[in-house]
Amino acid sequence: MTETHASQARALTVLMTMMVAAAWPSSAQRPATAPSAAPAATTTLAVVGGRLVDGYGGLPLENAVILINGTTITAVGQVGQLPVPPGAKVIPADGMTVLPGLWESHGHLEHLGEAVPSLFGEKYRQRLPEIMANAARVSLLAGITSFRDTGGPLAEQQALRADIEAGRTIGPRLFLAGPILNQRTRSQAGTPGDFLVSTPEEARAATERLIAMKVDQVKVYGFWDLPVLAEVTAAAHRAGIGVDADVRHIEAYRTAVRAGVDRLHHVFTAESPADHSDEDLRLLVRGEKPVGTGPSANILRGPYIVPTIEMRNAYARALQFPEVVDHPRLHEVVPADIYPFLRETWQRPQAIPWGIGATERVKAAKRKLRRFIEAGGREQLVAGTDAGSPLNFHSPLAREIANLVEAGLSPLEAIQAATLRAAQMQGVDARLGTVSVGKLADLVLIDGDPLQDITLLQHRIAHVVKDGVVVR
pLDDT band at 23 (very low <50, low <70, confident <90, very high): very low
SS3 call for 161: helix
What is the mean pLDDT of the segment spanning 105-116? 94
Q: Are strands 243-246 and 173-176 parallel, antiparallel or unpaired?
A: unpaired
pLDDT band at 27 (very low <50, low <70, confident <90, very high): very low
Contact 53, 60 (CB under 8 A): yes
pLDDT score of 38? 43
SS3 call for 98: strand
Q: What is the DSSP letter of 440?
A: B
Terminal-residue alpha carbon distance, the chain: 63
pLDDT band at 267 (very low <50, low <70, confident <90, very high): very high
- Crossing angle for the helix pair 397-407 and 358-372, to the nearest 10 degrees: 60
The answer to whether the bond into 105 is cis (omega within 30° of 0) is no
Q: Return the higher-pLDDT residue of 17 and 351.
A: 351
Which residue type, as a one-letter code, is found at position 124?
Answer: Y
Q: What's the CA gap between 179 and 181, in Å, rounded? A: 7
pLDDT score of 9? 41
pLDDT score of 83? 94
Give the mean pLDDT of the chain.
87
- Give me the phi and psi of 148, to 5 degrees please: -95, 105
What is the mean pLDDT of the segment spanning 164-176? 97
pLDDT score of 240? 94
- pTM strictly above 0.75: yes
Say whether pLDDT at 472 is over 90.
yes
51-52 sheet: strands from edge to edge: 51-52, 96-100, 443-447, 461-466, 469-470
Maximum separation of any 2 CA atoms in the chain, in Å: 98
pLDDT score of 365? 93
pLDDT band at 10 (very low <50, low <70, confident <90, very high): very low
Write out pLDDT tens, residues 412-431.
999 999 999 999 999 999 99
Say whether pLDDT at 11 is over 70.
no
Half-sphere exposure of 237 (CA within 13 A, CB side): 17
Write out pLDDT tens, residues 361-380.
999 999 999 999 999 999 99
Q: Return the higher-pLDDT residue of 359 and 208.
A: 208
What is the mean pLDDT of the segment spanning 105-112? 96
What is the mean pLDDT of the segment spanning 9-24? 35
Q: What percent of the chain has pLDDT over 70?
A: 87
Say whether pLDDT at 8 is over 80.
no
